[in-house]
Amino acid sequence: MINKKKVIATAMLGFSLTAAITPLTATAQESWPTQKITFVVALGPGGSADRTARALAQRLQEDLGTPISVVNQNGGGGACRPYLLPQYAC
């Protein structure tokens, strides 16, 4: 039987990595980003998704020179609580 939590976590991690790496390919923009970046991880701290997000955040922080924080928001079945996400938006 397929573990639904693992499938969701893998999909979210893949999307996060794609979304984080895509802006690095755009070279026409100047001095981006101008504000702090917050990664919201939909799983608890200490798991593989958390460790991967923190490793990615550290590398991106070195490359971009912008502070990046990782926030863990547990939700039912690995889903983020949508009403909490706007507090992390710019």
Task: Give tens-digit pLDDT for 2-59.
Answer: 677 777 777 777 777 676 666 555 555 566 777 888 888 888 888 888 899 999 999 9
Token pair in block for residue 4: 């639904």
Residue 59 confidence (pLDDT): 92
Say if residues 39 and 21 touch (Cβ distance below 8 Å).
Answer: no
30: Cα separation from own chain's centroid: 23
Say if residues 79 and 87 touch (Cβ distance below 8 Å).
Answer: no
What average pLDDT does this structure show over 76-90? 65
Residue 14: left if φ>0, alpha if ψ -120 to 50, beta else—which one? alpha
At residue 38's C-alpha, the angle toward residues 33 and 44, to 5°, is: 160
